[in-house]
Amino acid sequence: MAGSELLASLGLWFVRAFVSSLICLLIGYIGIRVITLITTKIKELESVKGNPLATGLFVGGFFVYAGLVVYGSMVNPFFLSQSVVVGAYFNLQRLLIVIISFFVSLLLGALFYLVFAKLSPFGVDLDDINKHPTAIGVFLFCYEVFLGLIMLASLTLPMG
């Protein structure tokens, strides 16, 4: 009996972490789509296609993002208990923190783009990365790591 309870608990834990990860991966996909809308002068996805190094960086960045999300979801999934009552089973506060963190990351991403592309505090034109697909791949890689770290923090943030 104890072995079957352990297997059932592990199965529920895995399902909870899997669903939490899927939700966060969907958020990451939306984040990439939105960052391409925010950075109007940079043609991210069009430039990455057909360039092996840029594509590798883009996909590699998404793997890093996915790893951070899966880790955070395994440590602290959205789902809490084994009860069938939705309020006890689904942690709406955690989901709200993740969603708010996502919007904060978009706001910060837009702000960083504005500062680097428009104000040029370092005398560097961010839109210059549009000149080479590898530079765009690096840009997307870094954005995915940036978003992944924010998602990890929102998943593992202690809620008092």
Contacts of residue 104, Cβ cutoff 8 Å, sequence gap at least 6: 150
Note the pLDDT of residue 83.
46
Q: Is 78 helix (H, G, I), strand (E, B) or coil?
A: coil
Calpha distance 126→34 (Å, rounded): 17
Written as one string, the DSSP assignment of 87-154 is HHHB-HHHHHHHHHHHHHHHHHHHHHHIIIIII-TTS--GGGGGG-HHHHHHHHHHHHHHHHHHHHHH
Q: What is the pLDDT of residues 12-30, one digit of tens each?
A: 778 878 888 899 999 999 9
User: What are all long-range contacts of 52-55, with beta carbons under 8 Å and residues at least 24 apart?
Assistant: 53/133, 53/134, 53/137, 54/133, 54/134, 54/136, 54/137, 55/137
What 3-state DSSP class applies to 86? helix
More confident residue, 77 or 152: 152
What are the pLDDT digits (tens) for 105-151? 999 988 988 888 777 777 877 778 888 899 999 999 999 999 999 99
Provide the pLDDT confidence category of residue 89 given band limits of 50, 70 and 90: low
Question: Are 51 and 137 contacting, i.e. CB atoms less than 8 angstroms apart?
Answer: yes
Identify the pLDDT of residue 92. 75
Q: Where are the domains of the chain?
A: 2-156
Give the whole-angstrom CA distance, residue 154 versus residue 160: 14
- pLDDT digits over 37-82, tens only? 888 777 888 888 999 999 999 999 999 999 999 998 888 766 655 4
